Structure formats: C-alpha cells, structure tokens
C-alpha cells in the first residue's frame, strides 16, 4: 500500500539501488508530519460514532431524503470515517482509494442511495462540527484535507 516509505522503497528497488540520502530525507520529512496525523487518527477514532451520528441526524432531519435509507447512511459514513482514520495513519490516500473510492459510485448507484446525502454529511462534519474542540489545529488540517479529498471524489 502506498505511503511515503513504500514509494521510496519501490523507486529504489526499480533502480536496483540502496536507499540514498535523498530517500532518507523524504522519509524523514514524512515522519516530521506524522505527529499531527497520528493525533488526528487517535482523536477521530474516539469520536467516530459521535461525528457519524451528528452528521447523519443533521442531514436526515429536514426530510429531503427517504428515512428508510438512514441506517445505511450511518453504516457508510462510519465506514468512510474509518478509512479516513486509516489514511491518517498511512499518511497517504491509499486506503480510501483502494477500499473506498474505486467501485464506490457503482455500488451506491445499485443500492439506489443518494450520493448527495453522503456529500452533505461530510460537508457537515467539515464545516459545522467543531473539530478544533477535540484535536489540535495541525491535526484538524490533516483531517479536513482528507475530508475534502473524499468529498471531491464523491461529487
């Protein structure tokens, strides 16, 4: 799975060379950012249920979506937030790409679920929930970056 380290190792292996000084620099660069990522992952893991429920309740309370889909929406939002938690740990978008985004559009369409509701829920998490209450600003930036990535992929 793609991460800063595996990308560097793959490139070195393709060239048949040992890791070089610039490889070490790039690995080190990713480690320097790792603290914020890991904090975001930790805090997100503890708030996963809370964020999911807040978002889905907000989206479904105005009645523009069929209430029967609500529990499926809860399940999927929870799933996506878990994948974001994984992305924060890996430091790349690998888990979302491989397990969440490829094939996703087809599955959502087949189940006749409204994609718009998902997008609305993620936008709610990004804009309405006070994420800064639970994590530091740097961690929040990492988390929101991935939310944006997911919203763009769904749209």
Partner 1 sequence: MLDAFSRTVVTADAKGAAIGSEDLADLRKYVADANKRIDATLAITQNVSCIAADAVAGMVCENTGLTQPGGHCYPTRRMAACLRDGEIILRYVSYALLAGDPSVLEDRCLNGLKETYLALGVPTSNAIRAVEIMKIATVAIMTETNTGRKMFKGINSGSGAQCQDIAAEAASYFDLVIEALS
Contact residues toward partner 1 (CB under 8 A) are 1, 3, 5-6, 8-10, 12-13, 16-19, 23-24, 27-28, 31, 34-35, 38, 41-42, 44-46, 48, 81-82, 85-86, 89-91, 94-95, 99
Give the integer Cα–Cα distance in Å for 2 and 136: 26
CA dihedral 60, 55, 70, 107 (to 10 degrees): 120
**Residue with Cβ nearer partner 1 (72 or 82):** 82
Query: How far apart are CB 94 and partner 1 at their closest, in Å?
Result: 7
Backbone angles phi, psi at 25, to 5 degrees: -60, -45
Distance of closest approach, residue 130 Cβ to partner 1, in angstroms: 20
Min dist. Cβ of residue 66 to partner 1 (A): 26
Q: How far is the CB of 139 from partner 1 (least distance, A)?
A: 12
Closest to partner 1 by CB, 24 or 71: 24
Q: Which CB sits closer to partner 1, 17 or 109?
A: 17
SS3 category, 6 = helix
The number of angstroms, rounded, from the C-alpha of 117 to the middle of its chain's C-alpha atoms is 17
Q: How many angstroms separate the first and last alpha carbons of the chain?
A: 25
Q: Which is nearer to partner 1, 28 or 105 (CB)?
A: 28
Closer to partner 1 by CB, 103 or 109: give it.
103
Q: Whole-number minimum distance, CB 62 to partner 1, in Å?
A: 29
Q: Where are the alpha helices (DSSP H) in the chain?
A: 4-15, 21-60, 70-90, 94-95, 104-110, 115-127, 137-154
């Amino acid at each position: 799975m793609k991460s800063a380290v595996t990308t560097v190792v793959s490139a070195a292996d393709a060239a048949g060379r040992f890791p070089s000084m610039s490889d070490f620099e790039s690995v080190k660069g990713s480690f320097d950012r790792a603290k914020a990522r890991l904090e975001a992952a930790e805090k997100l893991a503890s708030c996963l249920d809370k964020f999911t429920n807040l978002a889905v309740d907000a989206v479904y309370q105005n009645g523009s979506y069929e209430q029967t889909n609500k529990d499926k929406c809860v399940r999927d939002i929870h799933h996506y937030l878990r994948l974001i938690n994984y992305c924060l740990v890996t430091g790349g978008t690998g888990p979302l790409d491989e397990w969440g985004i490829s094939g996703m559009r087809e599955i959502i369409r087949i189940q006749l679920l409204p994609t718009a509701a998902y997008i609305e829920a993620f936008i709610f998490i990004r804009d309405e929930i006070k994420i800064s209450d639970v994590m530091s600003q740097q961690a929040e930036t990492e988390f929101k970056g991935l939310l944006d990535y997911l919203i763009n992929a769904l749209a």
